[in-house]
Amino acid sequence: MMKNSEAIKSKTLRLLMPQWQGGNNPAYFLGAQLLNWLAPNMNDIQEEVPVSLTEEGLEVEKGIFARRTLLKQLHDAEEILEKYKPDRVIVLGGDCGVELAPISYLNNKYDGDMAILWVDAHPDVNTPEHFENHHAHVLANLLGIGDEEFVASVPKQVNPDNILYVGLNDWQLSEKKVMEQFNLSAVTPEELVEDSSPVLNWLEKVKPAKVFIHFDLDVLDLREFRSLLIANPATYEKMKDQVTAGSSMETIIRVLQDVAKAHDIVGLGITEHFPWDTYNLQNMLQRLPLLGDINKKDKAPYNWIF
């Protein structure tokens, strides 16, 4: 575990990347900005990856929605990382695709001796042949699978033995095949209820020098935390009766605190904050007298398809 004096000397980059095109959901732009506003200010270096909210560059290319736009934003993030060469990275997103550049950078910096805790309801190892939204491809790219340009941005592929899914409870058949191909390890929400030992024991076996934590908020149970894509107010009552229970907020906090007390955390990415109420409120304010356009009829969009 790193001493406090070492932590002070290390350089931490706080990267705001309000990317939404990878999940085709504009609300992730607002969600990332709110995360950045809510998160404590630790006097880190702060940078923002420019992300457009226009309709330009949203074509499906080579099986990926907004591929050209996503590659540009990926390269912009890489330039920021190369500029500062940080020891640690905090990523506030945006869809899960925002993790590609920082994990690639840190895994290369620490010569592959870095475990990745993929705290997520989903495995994110899909490919363009099966799913056009890139946010579900990111871990596959880190393993060397998928679109050649995204894979080429990974200088050192992640060792599959260094990946642990935490809270995984939903996947597609195409993703299951990749998980089995790489023999990826997973801990279910049920296994975390009592204590953090399944995660700590795995880390003790792997013995990584560094740890990166990817935290997709959709790992949380929608019955407790509703700022998730799946918690659409229009279908919420139906979904809460159908969707498998996720982890509680306190469970995830405890697990991540326990890991941080025993291991050197060099990265934390928080993604896919979908603030339904705030998103709809923003739309309402845009349509009111004096504040906005009284002729505006459009409601707040999600899953844009042009």
pLDDT tens digits, 129-144:
999 999 999 999 999 9
In a domain, residue 298? The reply is no
Which pLDDT value is given to residue 265? 98
Q: Per-residue pLDDT for 306 more than 50? A: no
Alpha carbon distances (Å) from 298 to 24, 126, 283, 284, 287: 17, 32, 8, 10, 9
Taking all residues of the chain, what is their mean pLDDT, rounded to a whole number?
94
For residue 170, name the pLDDT band (cuts at 50, 70, 90): confident
Task: Tell me which amino acid residue 200 is.
Answer: L
For residue 9, name the pLDDT band (cuts at 50, 70, 90): low
In a domain, residue 219? The reply is yes
Do residues 93 and 30 lie in contact, with contact meaning Cβ atoms separated by under 8 Å?
Answer: no
- Count Cβ neighbours within 10 Å for each residue of 238-272 and write b for 16 or more, e otherwise: eeeeebeebbbeebbeebbebbeeebbbbbbbbbb
Q: Per-residue pLDDT for 7 more than 50? A: no
CA–CA separation, 302 and 24 (whole Å): 7
In a domain, residue 181? The reply is yes
In a domain, residue 290? The reply is no
Q: Per-residue pLDDT for 111 more than 80? A: yes
Question: Which CATH number does the domain housing residue 133 bear?
Answer: 3.40.800.10
pLDDT, average across residues 184-194: 96
Considering its fold, how many domains does the chain have in total? 1
Which pLDDT value is given to residue 301? 84
Contacts of 126 (CB under 8 A, 6+ apart): 136, 137, 140, 172, 174, 175, 178
In a domain, residue 21? The reply is yes
Do residues 227 and 131 lie in contact, with contact meaning Cβ atoms separated by under 8 Å?
Answer: no
Q: Per-residue pLDDT for 2 more than 70? A: no
Q: How many residues does the chain have?
A: 306
Q: Per-residue pLDDT for 70 more than 80? A: yes
DSSP 3-state percent helix, strand, coil across the chain (nearest 5): 40, 15, 40
Instruction: Let me know the angle formed at the C-alpha of 125 by 64 and 306, rounded to the nearest 5 degrees.
Output: 25
Which pLDDT value is given to residue 260? 98
Do residues 51 and 74 lie in contact, with contact meaning Cβ atoms separated by under 8 Å?
Answer: no
Q: Per-residue pLDDT for 71 more than 80? A: yes
Which pLDDT value is given to residue 30? 97
Which pLDDT value is given to residue 97? 98
For residue 55, name the pLDDT band (cuts at 50, 70, 90): confident
Domain around 89: 11-285
For residue 5, name the pLDDT band (cuts at 50, 70, 90): very low
Do residues 17 and 93 lie in contact, with contact meaning Cβ atoms separated by under 8 Å?
Answer: yes
Residue range 203-258, pLDDT digits in tens = 999 999 999 999 999 999 999 999 999 999 999 999 988 898 999 999 999 999 99
Which pLDDT value is given to residue 43? 85
Could you tell me which of 100, 109, 111 has the C-alpha nearest to residue 136? 100
